[in-house]
Structure 1
């Protein structure tokens, strides 16, 4: 049965016949080429030719990787285990191995992602330059030339954007990726989706970067990098919202079939079907799926049009044909069932060959990069090398999931299907074919491919444990005894086969898990602490002058009861208990005092003599509900209540509490001066320096107090206090800029106050001074500075990173 049967009509969406014929022709051409490749590999396995070739290659290769036995006996491998990322890099450098390690790793990326030939002198020069820059970044913290890809250092991404003069593009990308992450439903991995998306963007950027050199004008470089980021994002969306979604269990079989037809129609016609076609396919499904598909339709539609608009000079047909071949091969692979025992070798391997090469062929065509003569050929034959290695590593996970791969299918049916090729032998046949037939026995290529293969087996041996690994090898290597003896010797004895991308991936997965756990814990803590503070805030109505006092307390409690974020006391509580281990009950008076003082400042800010605001925290301001006199007196009451709370702190030295109260009073003075500066500056054209000054005194000092006051109670060292002051300065300004942006762009429902109020009051804001784009850039500049301060703080205070992310990405 031909694999092209998968594109027969399965629904109501029918592309024009001519386009469908062209698509079938493109798929069939690729399919025939893959079938020919499969025949070549199968013949090498059947004849044993691959084993003979690789035995010779290993004899040459091992000279660089197996030390003479006296050196192995007396030499030391101490410190060489890549468990601690930073220490491992330092050890590699001290041992004189780092240069080779990085050049080997970069060479692999140039082969895999760029389709480069390692015997090319220009490629060799670029590899050395990239490895050198990576070394300087790892050892000395210099800014990398390429785009950061670890997905966690948002500051690093933004600084890379500054380096390339595409800050606005990176800001756009960060916002887009946040929205994608928020729309990944349960049952799909949001972090992995974000990691894949970032990896695709970085791949397209790498292609664009490699098409330029020192002579490329700066403006042209920035234009190309901007386009590469946007194209990478647009193409990368297909991984979470096509590939991963169709692989998940979120959609029914009928929904998946309809969804596949919609994607297929877009690739065949070059036009995304209208929402009516999409909604009709999903309107009978779950409401959550319907909302998700509506978002996907909007986002994929926008991405599709962007890619189409950048396909000049007939390149569009190349891109769409490659995308169609890629999609159909994935669809053919996806629709296999492990219970079916009749799949032929072609049905198992041909889609794998097509999809494993297709993603990188598309990554290059999407950006219209120039091709060197052998790029397409090398990329087509290379892909299955990585895919078979990945399928081997994931064998037991795939078996548990019921996924069909050459390995899982062979594992299940090897006894009853002697016609099935052994995928492990096919893997080594691919390596032999690449070394001899594709890369013409180039020594550098042989080095990288065999390093990678042995490293993969070493990692499998460690991950599975020796008994299970040897059991697996006994099953997979029965047809290659001589070669296997060589391979297993290399697995046990070979050195210097590690790769940086594996180290980075392991670190990313570890940090990704920790980051997710920390973020979820942080969000839970925020909710718990907010509830705790809300409960402690109301002031008891026990005034000695009840006729008047109780009404003032009622007014103060009205202001306290609004839907405030409680960021200041929450931040102080986190620093106190999470950062310094102080008792939560002991510091509670400090927390309530901060909210009392903050609420008092808002009451005064809202008065007709100042901001003249009608709405605060989603309801009427105090003077609008009562009158100005009541508001002023209630604000004064809250200030005194805050002082009383601070004086009631127990369990700390008296001089520490007095110092804290003195510091708090000083910060309150600065807040007043900041508000006065703001009022005096209205209607004036302010410089950025003046605006930063006003902003710090209006907002930054409050953030500083929330950090410093609990640190004072914990007797924190002066160096930490200085770092927290730096964090507070920049985080406070970033927070204020986000407020200004929300005021300019937001909706009253989200903000809890009317949008555009700053402009109506003639207030000088970052938006009015710098414009929307300039304000966003300034916010991210301060974000980066605050992020630097967090990295220098003790581990117990690193949760401030999550707070910082919240401050600049909040919607209200």
Structure 2
């Protein structure tokens, strides 16, 4: 099907945007030259400081002696509540989001009502968490996101976007900041969802609400993808100069024609990176394009081209060029910062919103100048051209250069008085944000460096600077929720990356160690037949097994309970011997009749069924022998462990018998859950509980571990069924579609692919809930859970 070409003249659209930006810049420049805004701003601060410079507050002492570190979100929110500050805090935070992201006028009665409602709901959320005595909230956890999706009945979109985010994180080149890239993506998705939610009312039909929120998630991801895979990629040194030119030309062609061209012959070393990026961006571009109403499609292409072209112009600047004019420096920034916000509504094909374009166009440079101020030293190191880096380098040589910090305050005055018409709430929020940004800068740089920066940028307006310095030093109550959450998300993503790397390293290290320990050595005097059984056992043990169960036992025993590694090694061997024996029996012709296991021929295929059966029995006895050799532990404790192990082995046999009895039968979901638990969940439970028995932990903790194992085991099995349904045989190490060929009931056959995915995430959430009942967080189990539902084999 031929797609329609973009109707808009992209170059003409950019020329008009440039003209509009020039007019805005001329107004700001004239205001700056005449200093007409200084007195007005000083008067604004005199009004503003009445609610921000306080005497000592006894409530602060009563509530917690002193203000806690905002990094401890729960304590900080509790302190805000106890001191009576939380309502104002949330009001300015939500108001700012409505001003920045939604382009709303804060004096609009409808907007006021929405801000109050959202602030009330947000307060209730944080107070509920505090009352439940939960640990630090996990603001971007898959469980929290999926639970929200369930409430809104958009689980499919949530599952889709979580899978997309996982693959983006895996494909971000190492030269880019993965945490920041993910944060930007998440922020854009939330911003688009906010735009859609703002249009919905209590009278919106449920089906329409579901459809719009579903689309908002997909559109948010599709648009947000441009930040890591267009802006960041082209700004980085990942691509060669030739690759950047080829990539930019491809994007421009797509925006001119409305069709993403084929990748064609790629000239450069980053073919694999570009191949993934091209595929993902094409899918995203086509989704946005096809979502547009026909009459809105040209607006989308126009705004997209304007945004990209302004970025290209900025990217082409060199800090070594001493001849850029003020217009060269600021006009692309005005265009870029305005169009990046205007494009969101065009992505959504949103209806006209009176005043939105005007407010959004004038607002963008305010945020951009604040961001560039915060990043100036990083930008200087990267030799990036921003108004701040250029001014730092050439201020002594170029007296004509506009001081970007002074222009920043001119923009603030223009917004307060010309755009928001001296509205008290707008003044409050904008000045809150400005002082908060300077406070954060001072904290980040330290007082000495901050003073040095202010000497450079703030000396030209001594009257205003004196007032601002006083406000930065004395004013309070200028914190914002979005900044707090941003810091938490970045910290969480960074910590999560480190924990994931530690998780993967632990798996690799322990797996290698266990693989060495598993081999059964033959003594010279062994009978020939026993030697053959040992060889058969070693063959099965040598396969490319994941070793999840003994690895899990090692982590819980050594890392969490402090048991000696050498002391529990017999337990690790017994776990894998027992598991491998169960696989040998599962694969037999009388059971699953499998031909391959762990990437190799099954044991009965290599030898015969009798040898396989005897080898399985041999490994079970060997496992019991290993458990009985746990000599460094109390004898009664070891006996308790062996009894528990025997009961679990019985249960697993029963689960396999139930599974065999169900062949060719249509099972209910309850029956399948039961079989799954006895076949798979019990093995996870044993891996967690047996080291806990040796460590003699409390029964409450063992119960939490059992609950985790139950739900994690079912989630694991559902993922297995999904992989068998549509996985890659080369990655799996066994043929896909085996369950269907054997006419087995699976979660996919009972629930369908989508239903199985939902069930998997439901069990994921329940397993995650059980982890919060543990005495302390166990990052390894959290990442194990992520691995179980995200693995490809």
The answer to whether TM tops 0.5 is: yes
Q: Which residue of 2 aligns with 1:48?
A: 35
1:253 to partner: Cα distance: 1.3
Note closer, same or farther for the CA distance 1:63–1:158 as it changes in structure 2 (3 Å cut): same
Q: Which residue of 1 aligns with 2:724?
A: 743
Distance 2:79 2:40 in 1: 35
Q: Which residue of 1 aligns with 2:176?
A: 188
Q: Which residue of 1 aligns with 2:124?
A: 136
Out of 98, 101, 111, the position equivalent to 1:110 is 98
Distance 1:603 1:72 in 2: 68
Q: Which residue of 2 aligns with 1:756?
A: 737
Give the conservation status (yes or no) of the 8 Å contact 1:61–1:447.
yes
Q: Which residue of 2 aligns with 1:503?
A: 484
Residue 591 (structure 1) aligned with residue 572 (structure 2): yes
Distance 2:349 2:49 in 1: 40
Give the conservation status (yes or no) of the 8 Å contact 1:151–1:198.
no
Residue 294 (structure 1) aligned with residue 282 (structure 2): no
Distance 1:264 1:125 in 2: 42
Q: Deviations over 1:454-506 (max 9, x none)?
A: 11111111111111111111111111101111111111111111101111111
Note closer, same or farther for the CA distance 1:644–1:303 as it changes in structure 2 (3 Å cut): same
The within-5 A match list for 1:303-382 is 303-382=284-363
1:545 to partner: Cα distance: 5.2
Residue 527 (structure 1) aligned with residue 527 (structure 2): no
Give the conservation status (yes or no) of the 8 Å contact 1:791–1:798.
no
Q: Which deviates further from its counterpart, 171-180 or 76-85?
A: 76-85
1:761 to partner: Cα distance: 1.6
Q: Which residue of 1 aligns with 2:519?
A: 538
Where in structure 1 do 4 or more consecutive aligned residues deviate above 6 Å? 18-21, 69-77
1:71 to partner: Cα distance: 7.9
Note closer, same or farther for the CA distance 1:19–1:778 as it changes in structure 2 (3 Å cut): closer
Q: Which residue of 2 aligns with 1:91?
A: 79
Q: Deviations over 1:560-582 (max 9, x none)?
A: 11111111001111111121122
Distance 1:446 1:240 in 2: 33
1:114 alignment partner, SS class: coil
1:543 to partner: Cα distance: 8.2
Q: Which residue of 2 aligns with 1:158?
A: 146
Give the conservation status (yes or no) of the 8 Å contact 1:454–1:490.
yes
Note closer, same or farther for the CA distance 1:37–1:245 as it changes in structure 2 (3 Å cut): same
1:183 to partner: Cα distance: 1.3
Give the conservation status (yes or no) of the 8 Å contact 2:655–2:676.
yes
1:83 to partner: Cα distance: 3.3
Q: Which residue of 2 aligns with 1:232?
A: 220
1:661 to partner: Cα distance: 0.8
In structure 1, stretches of 5+ residues that fail to align are 1-15, 144-148
Q: Which residue of 2 aligns with 1:9?
A: none
Distance 1:685 1:237 in 2: 43
1:544 to partner: Cα distance: 6.2
Output the TM-score relative to the length of structure 2: 0.96
Residue 797 (structure 1) aligned with residue 784 (structure 2): no
1:316 alignment partner, SS class: helix
Distance 1:114 1:29 in 2: 23
Q: Which residue of 2 aligns with 1:34?
A: 21
Q: Which deviates further from its counterpart, 665-674 or 506-515?
A: 506-515
Residue 576 (structure 1) aligned with residue 557 (structure 2): yes
1:151 to partner: Cα distance: 6.7
Distance 1:219 1:139 in 2: 31
Distance 1:605 1:63 in 2: 76
Give the conservation status (yes or no) of the 8 Å contact 1:543–1:550.
no
Residue 651 (structure 1) aligned with residue 632 (structure 2): yes
1:796 to partner: Cα distance: 5.1
Give the conservation status (yes or no) of the 8 Å contact 2:499–2:779.
no
1:651 to partner: Cα distance: 2.0
Distance 2:603 2:60 in 1: 81
Q: Which residue of 2 aligns with 1:440?
A: 421
Q: Which residue of 2 aligns with 1:619?
A: 600
1:792 to partner: Cα distance: 2.9
Q: Which residue of 1 aligns with 2:652?
A: 671
Distance 2:152 2:546 in 1: 36
| Aligned residues: CA RMSD | 1.9
The within-5 A match list for 1:242-321 is 242-276=230-264, 279=265, 282-283=266-267, 285-286=268-269, 289-321=270-302
Distance 2:341 2:456 in 1: 32
Give the conservation status (yes or no) of the 8 Å contact 1:80–1:92.
no
Note closer, same or farther for the CA distance 1:580–1:791 as it changes in structure 2 (3 Å cut): same
1:356 to partner: Cα distance: 1.1
Q: Which residue of 2 aligns with 1:600?
A: 581
Give the conservation status (yes or no) of the 8 Å contact 2:533–2:615.
yes
Note closer, same or farther for the CA distance 1:150–1:438 as it changes in structure 2 (3 Å cut): farther
Q: Which residue of 1 aligns with 2:787?
A: 806
Note closer, same or farther for the CA distance 1:74–1:809 as it changes in structure 2 (3 Å cut): closer
1:678 to partner: Cα distance: 0.9
Distance 1:28 1:88 in 2: 48
Distance 2:139 2:610 in 1: 52
Distance 1:650 1:138 in 2: 50
1:667 alignment partner, SS class: helix
1:540 to partner: Cα distance: 1.3
2:348 alignment partner, SS class: coil
The within-5 A match list for 1:417-436 is 417-436=398-417
Q: Which deviates further from its counterpart, 534-543 or 674-683?
A: 534-543
Q: Which residue of 2 aligns with 1:395?
A: 376
1:68 to partner: Cα distance: 4.2
Distance 1:756 1:24 in 2: 52
2:37 alignment partner, SS class: helix
Q: Deviations over 1:709-757 (max 9, x none)?
A: 1111111122211111111000000000000111111132221121111
Output the TM-score relative to the length of structure 1: 0.94
Out of 153, 169, 175, the position equivalent to 2:157 is 169
Distance 1:497 1:401 in 2: 31
1:257 to partner: Cα distance: 1.5
Residue 455 (structure 1) aligned with residue 442 (structure 2): no
Note closer, same or farther for the CA distance 1:468–1:231 as it changes in structure 2 (3 Å cut): same
Q: Which deviates further from its counterpart, 289-298 or 535-544?
A: 535-544
1:20 to partner: Cα distance: 10
Distance 2:662 2:72 in 1: 53
Note closer, same or farther for the CA distance 1:528–1:329 as it changes in structure 2 (3 Å cut): same
1:793 alignment partner, SS class: coil
1:582 alignment partner, SS class: coil
Give the conservation status (yes or no) of the 8 Å contact 1:237–1:300.
yes
Q: Which residue of 2 aligns with 1:205?
A: 193
Distance 1:68 1:705 in 2: 60
Note closer, same or farther for the CA distance 1:72–1:336 as it changes in structure 2 (3 Å cut): farther
Give the conservation status (yes or no) of the 8 Å contact 2:416–2:426.
yes
Distance 1:201 1:387 in 2: 20
Q: Which residue of 1 aligns with 2:472?
A: 491
Distance 1:269 1:744 in 2: 38
Give the conservation status (yes or no) of the 8 Å contact 1:265–1:273.
yes
1:798 to partner: Cα distance: 2.6
Note closer, same or farther for the CA distance 1:608–1:492 as it changes in structure 2 (3 Å cut): same
1:81 to partner: Cα distance: 3.6
Note closer, same or farther for the CA distance 1:80–1:555 as it changes in structure 2 (3 Å cut): closer
